[in-house]
Amino acid sequence: MDFINKLKLNQVQKKHISEINERVSDVFPPDLYEHTISTLFYSEKLAGSYILKDGNMDYENFQTDQIAYYKLCMVALLHDYGKIFNFEKLKEVALKNNDRIDAVREDFDINSILHGFAGAFIVKDEFNIDDEEILKSIMYHTTGYCNMNIADKIIYVSDKIEERRNYREVYYLRELSLKNINLCLLEVYKNNIIYIIKNNKNIYSNTFNIWNNICKLYGGLTDGSRR
Ligand SMILES: [Fe+2]
Ligand SMILES: [Fe+2]
């Protein structure tokens, strides 16, 4: 796969990513696979600015940042793996692991977030991935959590503004993502809350705390051009 060769990974990492890619491409419907790859591309682009420091390979934290980048690629490919399972199966997995998910029972009835909660445990079993950071990132990719790390901010944002997404604010959000990831997170999160309310959808029980946390950290930021 050409795009895998272009990722800033070593040969062993590329082989692993390639295996994951083959598996997901076999089982994902075309639309979901295209969204997955598009999320990977967007995450990779943001990682170049915020994790790998514009591809500069010669700096102090390169080893840890390279691992963060590798994990980000895995999460991008697997974040929606839960979506190929039906609601009953996802709910069963979530209930079985409910003590390890930061949610109340009612949250497990919200279809749009359940695939993340349950998907993390399914990925753990089916792909033998035990890394807690990867599983946490998959688990909360649609909800976010308080004090998100840079890789999880990138996944959260990329999932919602990847190049296949098409809604009024997406062009501004893409621009912002390259200028200031924290401000972009705030704007994407806000956008998501507005969407949920406008469409009469149920809201995740922790959204209040997460929004307050994001506001406290980044509410005073400005991108210098709009707002
Ligand atoms: Fe998702
Ligand atoms: Fe997604």
Structure-token match 């979530």, residue found: 94
Other residues' Cβ atoms within 10 Å of the Cβ of residue 87: 13
Ligand nearest to the CA of 120: 1
Q: Running DSSP on this structure, what letter comes out for residue 162? A: S
Q: pLDDT tens, 74-97?
A: 999 999 999 999 999 999 999 999
| Residue 80 CA to ligand 1 centre (angstroms) | 5
* pLDDT value at 98 more than 90: yes
Report the CATH fold assignment for 2-166. Hypothetical protein af1432 (1.10.3210)
Question: Residue 227: its pLDDT value, please?
Answer: 46
CA of 44 to the centre of ligand 2 (A): 15
Q: How far is the CA of 60 from the centre of ligand 2 (A)?
A: 32
| Gap from CA of 5 to ligand 1 centroid (Å) | 25
155: CA distance to ligand 2 center in Å? 9
What is the per-residue pLDDT across 28-65, written as a single tens digit (0 to 9) for each? Answer: 999 999 999 999 999 999 999 999 875 555 666 777 88
Quick one: which of 111, 142, 113, 138 has its CA closest to 125?
138
DSSP string, 22-40: HHHHHHS-HHHHHHHHHHH
For the stretch 171-184, pLDDT in tens is: 999 999 999 999 99
- In the structure, ligand 2 is a single-atom ion and the residues with CB under 5 Å from it are 80, 159
How much distance in Å is there from the Cα of 9 to the middle of ligand 2? Answer: 23
Ligand sitting nearest the alpha carbon of 39: 2
Tally Cβ neighbours within 10 Å of residue 217: 15
**How far is residue 133's CA from residue 57's CA, in Å, rounded to a whole number?**
23
Give me the helices (H) in 84-169, please: 87-96, 111-127, 132-139, 150-161
* CA of 113, nearest ligand number: 1
CA of 85 to the centre of ligand 2 (A): 14
Q: What separation in Å is there between the alpha carbon of 58 and the centre of ligand 2?
A: 32
Ligand 2 centre from 43 Cα, in Å? 12
Q: Which ligand is nearest to the CA of 77?
A: 2
71, 129 Cβ separation under 8 angstroms: no
Confidence of residue 3 (pLDDT cuts 50, 70, 90): very high
Q: Among all ligands shown, which has an atom nearest to the Cα of 119? A: 1
Cα 57 to ligand 1 centroid, rounded to whole Å: 31
